[in-house]
Amino acid sequence: MIRFMRISPISLIGTGCAAALLLQATGSGPTATAADAAGAVRRTDPGIAASSAPRTTSLALEALAPIPRTDRSAGPLTATRGLAARATAGYSLLGVSWDDPAATLDGSVQVRTRAADRSGHGAWSDWRALAADDEDRPDAGSAEQAGPRARGATAPLWVGPSDGVEVRAGAAGALPAGLRVELVDPGTDGPAVAVPQAPQARALPSADYGAPRPGIVTRAGWGADESIREPDFVYTGTVKEVFVHHTDTGNDYTCADSPKLIRAIYQYHVQSNGWRDIGYNFLVDKCGTIYEGRAGGVDRPVLGAHTLGFNTDSSGVAALGTFDSDQPVKAQLDGIAEIAAWKLGLTGQDAGSTVTLVSASDGSRYPKGTAHTFNTISGHRDAFATDCPGDDLYGHLADLRAEASHLQGRQ
């Protein structure tokens, strides 16, 4: 059952990422710290410069000549759109979107980017591929997927500060209409701002499966602009499952970049994809830092947009990065295990067990209405025909389940 709830905002005063608010780890499950529970006041450094808000620049793709395939046995990609190399406004993350959120781009999308340089003559990157279809999304037919601002899109790619772009997209058949490249500037950190905060649930974790609450950087901590998301919160039934993802944004980021990267993903999901909020419930960076994702309360069953067909009664935890050929570091794996163990323990779910869910959407591995039994901690690919969370992260899921079970006191 999905419950819609409009909640009057509680003012939370805080700085940007320079003084991130961390919900401290405790042994008492979801019970917040005094500062968190009250909505709290944090000191503002008067020396911090005013922030610049995140910004998205959208550029329509133009007709291109046919693109030869690297495989000479096949013909060229005759349906092509793109952009010639050009200077742009500054940005750090990009993707390509199109009009119909139900349409797929059955082809390739490649980008080159120019590193930002005061002289305007920064170095150009090699061509890099974007994942042509971003399967981390709302369920088909849901209000979020069918909303008036919803668009289809590739997975975004983090490229760092850039001021130029070149794009080429090609397919053997038709390309989706309305192709455009989305250039996202994550903005900068700034002084204190008032942000709405959902009330925290007070249910204690299961005595059988409770795990320590890890530290979690709040949305205020990573600098979420709360004005761009939908103001209400949407909840599902009991969280019974954690789906592990990778953001597929690349690994060229530092841990100091993580708040900016998350702001950029948030901006892309809301402004480019047209979603109500960032799709993931939690994100974990390469230093093992855990970040609050979709608004509504970290200990509440917030409906996310991460696993087509199985967003209900689940929580999506995304590893920042791409793990098709790069191994995740131990700190990141530990962070995923910690948040999964705690989140599942709130509702008495054994992190090392299994659970049966019913698909809410066609397009997943299982047609709408089909029941399937998953490991309680599963990869996105277990529910959808996708590489996510990458071979190298997926190969660690058995160890993640074991670690999460240990944190719950089961091993």
By mean pLDDT, which of 32-36, 309-313, 385-389, 395-399 is the weakest?
32-36
Express each pLDDT in 181-204 by its tens digit: 999 999 986 533 334 444 444 544
Are residues 65 and 22 part of one domain?
no
By mean pLDDT, which of 144-153, 217-226, 281-290 is the weakest?
144-153
**185, 204, 230 — which closes off a domain?**
185
Band of residue 38 on the pLDDT scale cut at 50, 70, 90: very low
For residues 222-248, give the mean pLDDT: 95
- The Cα diameter of the chain in Å comes to 66
Are residues 316 and 255 part of one domain?
yes
**120, 154, 185 — which closes off a domain?**
185
For residues 104-132, give the mean pLDDT: 90
Are residues 354 and 229 part of one domain?
yes
Asked whether the beta carbons of 217 and 20 are under 8 A apart, the reply is yes
Are residues 63 and 26 part of one domain?
no
Give the range of the structural domain holding residue 86, as residue numbers without chain letter: 55-185
Are residues 15 and 86 part of one domain?
no
pLDDT at 104: 86
Number of domains in the chain: 2
Are residues 202 and 108 part of one domain?
no
Are residues 181 and 197 part of one domain?
no
Are residues 403 and 273 part of one domain?
yes
Are residues 8 and 35 part of one domain?
yes
Express each pLDDT in 282-307 by its tens digit: 999 999 999 999 999 999 999 999 99
Are residues 376 and 251 part of one domain?
yes
Are residues 87 and 174 part of one domain?
yes
Is residue 335 predicted with pLDDT exceeding 90? Answer: yes
Q: What is the CATH number of the domain that holds 297?
A: 3.40.80.10
Asked whether the beta carbons of 166 and 83 are under 8 A apart, the reply is yes
Q: Which residues contact 104 (CB under 8 A, 6 or more apart)?
A: 132, 133, 152, 176
Are residues 376 and 289 part of one domain?
yes
Is residue 25 predicted with pLDDT exceeding 60? Answer: no
Asked whether the beta carbons of 269 and 95 are under 8 A apart, the reply is no
**141, 158, 185 — which closes off a domain?**
185
Look up residue 239 and give its amino acid: V
Band of residue 385 on the pLDDT scale cut at 50, 70, 90: confident
